[in-house]
């Protein structure tokens, strides 16, 4: 395994950055679900590079074909397949990349694991480009979840030292997210963009945090222990390259809290059980409690920087230095926002399919 | 599913807090592995309650029987089964617990999910007591990993506002962990215990963070995307009740770092590729890079507190208050330390079994 | 893995023939399902040895305990655990069995696979005794399926050269099965019992075929390709020791048929789509078509016979002979009937849980 | 799920008969395995239609592209993707097919399961055409198995009433299989072809049996109970459309045998444990015993026949008749031979990857 996710649905992602095509198959999807291709494309465009000042100037339109699984705009019950042709296919001599692993990338681990047979061009299968098929699958799930009243949306919570407001945990509002730079507070957004610009000027990069909310989940989704909502979301979100941490509700801040502060009391509201606060991030015992699911993903700074770095020659067994060429995102966080949404939507749709509650 | 974990091994945990017995089966373990029962018992005792001032005074010896899978002190290739008889079995009237869900517990989510048929006594299947069979399985894996030169060990990094030193990321040293209160800096340990005592005096509880290190992993363990070391560890660690966050290496701190700070350069050392730093927590592209794997787990404060809390009567549909009776851990973090080690050991042993590298 | 089955449910079986206990855990079962223990015991008794003239005279009552998952006679949503204590635990010297593998048993393959660490006493984990926990799990599923109008029942179709009538494929009738020797035609049953007696007198054993019917399935259960009703049933039925073949509907006889003979035409009956015949065994494209699912399992003759057989000494690397001691079933087929029913019930209940149709 | 197979490898098949493309992804394959494209094409051609007198005259070259997973003729460790463009894409009016299900096809079960959204053109996802991507994946595994000394080969054992010789169970010889009509006895082959011709002249079709042998397996492959060699092979072979039965070794014939006839004695031969016979089909307790694995698959007659058949109008709820148009294989058995080999190779390669023995 490796690039396969899901229990009731089965997502399988393939492709290398500079291969002929990247894509995915998505099995286990019920028949009769409508597909809004325009909306999916708009979603994919949020991830695509070259759209903004603060991302890489490379332009690649991610225009998927769907050779299977969708007929006349509806899922037909058969596995859905999607394909994006690469215009930027492999060429040139990559022997240098094979010999001198880039710090922070998977070059070295892949070299050992695959014994030198790994595709090194553009990062191969480890490239952030592989999040495009993840967004196709997740973008479809987002559409279908919305029809059940479930919304998934995210914003940039932090870049470098600049921190946006957090969602209101009991009432996160997607309308409050600005575009195209997805923050709640536009002043913070401007400061973040300044931080990215400075990093780029320095030939450097910068990390951040994405906060994601899932609203409209029924109570009772998820299972105890290893199949909880947290486990399922974490197991796919850690599949996004660069994610190094995931926490829910109060998360790491709960370490500093008293039980009397962190417990969420109940009250009746309009004849329904409601919560007085949402430190649990909508999940108790692995099971959704009706409050919004709120989680954060830590995104490390892009490892591709223009500065001279220490590495080794694998063939010679000697120390050496490396200057990574090419134009790279100084900050991957803005483009990671729809990817986190896609991953969360896949986890939740999988949970819904396997549930007797929906 | 729910209480089943693993790909090459299959762990299945069963039991409710006040049921006749709790236990586990562990399938897929190679034959011929020795079992050191004394050492396993010593490991289980670290998790058992009533051993310290700072934990619950309840005393339950966790003495497992092994009805299957071990013959003459060696695994025989058949599934291993373990069983702990409960001395503290269900009795009394739990109808009140069924009606008025405790804040922070899974009472409400279980009531909805299981339609009132859930076992409420002592938290049922959601009880922290279910970490005992997890520790049996993980404690066995720890023994077997050590024979391959792989060590897993953890300490308390934080309780409330008191923070211990972190492990040296390139050279975490299990010898530095004090006992029985597992910290690196005993002064911080004393301050943590004071913080726990204060919380208890207040009828309250307090959360914390556990830091865990895994040393001796070969390079090349784990797979890209959804089957990486991070995904696998997170998917089991989030199965520990009270864990609300997991991060690796720099983790959430990477959000504030530049790429030039966060990238780990390479150098040759004794003829081997080594790392100049370990911000990646030993994992690149989901694959172990030879440096220690370092991760943290955020533990929320025990939800059982003696204070009056807001809840509802599910039967009457009215608001009400609740005073949780009984003696509870004011801080679960010290007992969570071996549980995190057990979970990590299971994830790593599963990875090793599925790998062509070991 | 190995002794784990299921997608929506997870069955895990443990135990060795002469170990302290055998048992199972069954995870993923909805809460609130009632358990009729008397009926379950009656079902288990059909599998138990020593009840009839034609089976082994050993007497072991299979009386399961349920330490977890059932509260006050109803499933509580937590994993169900069941345990049967062995009265007949390991004792004596089995070194001979370890050295000279019995033909037709798993002694040799286990010795190689487990490197000599396998439990040889009574066949260890490969013993037919492990079908007792399978029958506990399957016996529960049978009860729950009946509440949904789904019945699973089987009879002996063949023993040696004696062949019973087959079920009416469109209308198999459980009332027609005689007890305690489960055949449709009692004269054939008498002839089968005579064949078993002759085999026993000869110190030999005899094989047979079990035919199983599943009625009441909704149309649309199962999935194309690798997750069809056939795949799922076969993958568990081949887990019953001694099963060497499985076929559905016309099965192997379809090889001799023309399409015009084998196709099942449709007609409207009482406003519903019905079938004119049932050569497909109720399954088209892996999906149930509303007709009864009919399948057969080939059961090899018990390998334990009193005759001198050729084997080798694994330690000496020499040829030798073997006389298997002890009293064994000369024919396992009658006791296999409830085991096949249990396996089929597990496969079908798992399919139902994973389906959006029930 | 549905069209996903494997534990250590993950095969995912997609496509509908008249969709834009069919294909597969194959994840979990080690890096560095060479791919012989010519040999793979030759293998695919054995399955392709229109090559012989006795199959459909439709001509479709199955020429796969490999957009991912193979670089410079070697696997690179990333998932392998393959794609076959359909030249014969959907067009015309299929509303009739949607309304009047063809007997013996999955039309009716798909209509119910997918609520009318299924792709009906050419059988959609249920078409035998989907065995082409299965053969791509299996054809690759066949190449890699051969490098480990494992061979998989099959022949037609039976068509209608004509039965070929069976393989020598202890020494099946691939050299004895004639081409292009794969039988051991060419006279029987001629008689089979005559039987097919007669069926075609009658506007009818005919079924058969394929016998497959796997040689060179190490002792110890497979696991007890639900993960045995039999379970794994059956679970994929039943995924081939038209397969209605699978048996191993003596299989269904074991029902008539005595234990003294069916048990395979051991002897030492060239210092190795060998078998005196092979009634077990190379498998004991689910584990390979070193003898060739031999199994048979029952193939039902092609349901597409030119004769008038009874069906119903789903929209009108009335009985009606149907004449299936188009040119169809009167016998799918010859083309099923490489498909059975491919399925067996996938099951065995998956077992090898998950084993500590290879």
Q: pLDDT, tens digit, for every residue of C258-310?
A: 999 999 999 999 999 999 999 999 999 999 999 999 999 999 999 999 999 99
Q: Which of A245, A49, A11, A299 minimizes the C-alpha distance to A138?
A: A11
pLDDT higher than threshold 60 for residue D358? no
A224 vs C8: CB contact, 8 Å cut-off? no
B1 vs A226: CB contact, 8 Å cut-off? yes
Share of chain A above pLDDT 70, in %: 94
Rg (CA), chain A: 21
Q: Fill in the DSSP letter of residue A345.
A: H
Q: Which of residues 194-253 of C touch D (CB under 8 A)?
A: 199, 202, 204-209, 219-220, 223-228, 230-232, 234-236, 238-239, 241, 243-253
Lowest mean pLDDT among A282-296, C74-88, D164-178: C74-88
Report in angstroms the alpha-carbon separations of B184 from A34, A249, B158, B180, D202: 57, 28, 11, 12, 86
B227 vs A161: CB contact, 8 Å cut-off? no
In this complex, is the C-beta atom of A117 within 8 Å of any C-beta atom belonging to chain D?
Answer: yes
Give the separation between CA A295 and CA A238, rounded to whole angstroms.
Answer: 13
Strand locations in A9-62, DSSP E? 10-14, 21-27
Q: Give the number of other Cβ atoms within 10 Å of residue A85's Cβ.
A: 14
- What pLDDT score does C97 carry? 78
- What pLDDT score does B328 carry? 80
10 Å CB burial of residue A168 (0-12, 13-18, 19+) is: middle
Q: Cα distance from B278 to chain A (closest Cα, Å)?
A: 10
Q: Give the number of other Cβ atoms within 10 Å of residue A308's Cβ.
A: 12
Q: Which residue of B has its CA nearest to D31?
A: B356
pLDDT digits (tens, 9 = 90+) for D97-154: 789 999 999 999 999 999 999 998 888 999 999 999 999 999 999 999 999 999 999 9
- What pLDDT score does C144 carry? 97
Lowest mean pLDDT among A62-71, C116-125, D189-198, D292-301: C116-125
- What pLDDT score does D53 carry? 59
Residues A138-166: b if buried by 16+ CB within 10 A, e if exposed? bbbbbbbbeeeebbbbbbbbbbbebbbeb
- What pLDDT score does C53 carry? 59
Lowest mean pLDDT among A267-276, B85-94, C345-354: B85-94
Give the model's confidence band at D91: pLDDT under 50 very low, under 70 low, under 90 confident, else very high: low
Non-local (6+) Cβ contacts of C171 within 8 A are: C292
Give the separation between CA A344 and CA A292, rounded to whole angstroms.
Answer: 13
pLDDT higher than threshold 90 for residue A88? no
D32 vs A2: CB contact, 8 Å cut-off? no
Are residues B45 and B63 in contact, defined by beta-carbon separation less than 8 angstroms? no
Residue D58: both structure tokens together: 């439709």
pLDDT higher than threshold 70 for residue A340? yes
- What pLDDT score does C84 carry? 96
pLDDT higher than threshold 80 for residue B311? yes
Read out DSSP for C39-66?
HHHHHHHHHSSSSSTTS---------EE
Lowest mean pLDDT among A238-252, B142-156, C118-132, D317-331: D317-331
Q: What is the pTM of this model?
A: 0.96
pLDDT higher than threshold 70 for residue C179? yes
A118 vs D76: CB contact, 8 Å cut-off? yes
D13 vs A79: CB contact, 8 Å cut-off? yes
Work out the average pLDDT over B29-43.
97
Share of chain D above pLDDT 70, in %: 94
Are residues D110 and C285 in contact, defined by beta-carbon separation less than 8 angstroms? yes
Give the separation between CA C2 and CA D228, rounded to whole angstroms.
Answer: 7
Work out the average pLDDT over D338-348.
98
The DSSP bridge partners found for residue A155 are A211
Give the separation between CA A124 and CA D65, rounded to whole angstroms.
Answer: 18
10 Å CB burial of residue A235 (0-12, 13-18, 19+) is: buried
- What pLDDT score does B95 carry? 74
Q: Cα distance from D29 to chain C (closest Cα, Å)?
A: 19
Q: What is the ipTM of this complex?
A: 0.96
Give the rounded distance of the alpha carbon of A323 from its chain centre.
28
Are residues B30 and B144 in contact, defined by beta-carbon separation less than 8 angstroms? no
Residue A44: both structure tokens together: 């994919």
Residue D63: both structure tokens together: 């020429």
- What pLDDT score does C87 carry? 81
In this complex, is the C-beta atom of B260 within 8 Å of any C-beta atom belonging to chain C?
Answer: no
pLDDT higher than threshold 80 for residue A1? no
Work out the average pLDDT over C341-348.
98
Q: Which residue of D has its CA nearest to B30?
A: D356
- What pLDDT score does D325 carry? 74
- What pLDDT score does A358 carry? 37
Give the model's confidence band at B358: pLDDT under 50 very low, under 70 low, under 90 confident, else very high: very low
Rg (CA), chain C: 21
Are residues C252 and C267 in contact, defined by beta-carbon separation less than 8 angstroms? no
Give the model's confidence band at C357: pLDDT under 50 very low, under 70 low, under 90 confident, else very high: very low
Work out the average pLDDT over C122-142.
95
Q: Which residue of C has its CA nearest to D123?
A: C285
In this complex, is the C-beta atom of C92 within 8 Å of any C-beta atom belonging to chain B?
Answer: no
Give the separation between CA B168 and CA B152, rounded to whole angstroms.
Answer: 14
- What pLDDT score does B128 carry? 93
pLDDT higher than threshold 90 for residue B357? no
Report in angstroms the alpha-carbon separations of D30 from A122, B287, C183: 21, 15, 51
Give the separation between CA A161 and CA A244, rounded to whole angstroms.
Answer: 17
Q: Which of residues 164-183 of B touch A (CB under 8 A)?
A: none
Q: Which residue of A has its CA nearest to C30?
A: A356
- What pLDDT score does A181 carry? 96
Non-local (6+) Cβ contacts of A179 within 8 A are: none
Are residues C8 and C354 in contact, defined by beta-carbon separation less than 8 angstroms? yes
Q: What is the mean pLDDT of chain A?
A: 93
Q: Which residue of C has its CA nearest to B75?
A: C117
- What pLDDT score does D51 carry? 62
Alpha helices by DSSP H, listed for chain B, are 37-47, 95-99, 107-113, 131-147, 186-201, 229-237, 259-262, 333-353
pLDDT digits (tens, 9 = 90+) for A268-316: 999 999 999 999 999 999 999 999 999 999 999 999 999 999 999 999 9
Residue B258: both structure tokens together: 């530049």
In this complex, is the C-beta atom of D345 within 8 Å of any C-beta atom belonging to chain A?
Answer: no
Q: Which residue of A has its CA nearest to C357?
A: A356
pLDDT higher than threshold 50 for residue D170? yes
From chain D, the residues in CB contact with C299 under 8 A are: 254-255
Work out the average pLDDT over C10-20.
94
Are residues A205 and A302 in contact, defined by beta-carbon separation less than 8 angstroms? yes
Are residues A299 and A207 in contact, defined by beta-carbon separation less than 8 angstroms? yes
Work out the average pLDDT over A234-252.
98
pLDDT digits (tens, 9 = 90+) for B89-127: 666 667 787 899 999 999 999 999 999 999 988 889 999
pLDDT higher than threshold 80 for residue C94? no
From chain D, the residues in CB contact with C209 under 8 A are: 252, 255
Residue positions counted in chain C:
358
Report in angstroms the alpha-carbon separations of B312 from A63, A276, A279, B92, B305: 51, 11, 18, 22, 17
In this complex, is the C-beta atom of B8 within 8 Å of any C-beta atom belonging to chain D?
Answer: yes
- What pLDDT score does A357 carry? 42
């Amino acid at each position: 395994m490796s690039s396969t996710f899901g229990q009731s649905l089965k997502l399988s992602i393939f492709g290398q950055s500079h291969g002929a095509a990247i894509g995915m198959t998505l099995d286990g999807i019920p028949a009769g679900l409508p597909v809004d291709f325009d909306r999916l494309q708009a979603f994919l465009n949020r991830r695509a590079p070259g759209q903004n000042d603060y991302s890489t100037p490379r332009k690649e339109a991610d225009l998927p074909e769907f050779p299977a699984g969708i007929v006349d705009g509806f899922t037909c019950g058969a596995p859905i397949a999607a394909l994006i042709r690469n215009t930027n296919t492999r060429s040139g001599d990559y022997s240098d990349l094979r010999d001198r692993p880039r710090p922070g990338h998977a070059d070295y681990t892949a070299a050992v694991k695959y014994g030198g047979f790994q595709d090194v061009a553009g990062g191969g299968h480890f490239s952030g480009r592989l999040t495009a098929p993840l967004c196709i699958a997740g973008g479809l799930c987002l559409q279908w979840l919305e029809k059940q009243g479930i919304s998934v949306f995210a914003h940039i919570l932090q870049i470098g030292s600049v921190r946006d407001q957090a969602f209101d945990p009991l009432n996160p509002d997607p309308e409050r997210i600005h575009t195209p730079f997805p923050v709640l507070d536009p002043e913070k957004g401007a400061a973040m963009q300044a931080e990215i610009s400075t990093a780029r000027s320095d030939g450097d990069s910068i990390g951040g945090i994405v906060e994601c909310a899932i609203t409209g989940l029924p109570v009772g989704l998820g299972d105890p222990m290893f199949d909880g909502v947290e486990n399922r979301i974490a197991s796919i979100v850690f599949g996004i390259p660069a994610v190094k941490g995931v926490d829910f509700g109060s998360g790491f801040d709960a370490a500093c809290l008293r039980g009397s502060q962190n417990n969420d009391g109940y009250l009746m509201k309009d004849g329904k059980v409601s919560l007085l606060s949402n430190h649990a991030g909508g999940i108790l015992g692995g099971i959704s409690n009706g409050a919004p699911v709120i989680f954060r993903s830590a995104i490390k700074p892009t490892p591709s920087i223009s500065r001279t770095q220490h590495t080794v020659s694998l063939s010679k067994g000697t120390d050496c230095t490396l200057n990574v060429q090419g134009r790279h995102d100084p900050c991957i966080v803005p483009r990671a926002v729809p990817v986190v949404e896609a991953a969360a939507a896949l986890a939740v749709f999988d949970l819904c399919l396997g549930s007797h509650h929906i």
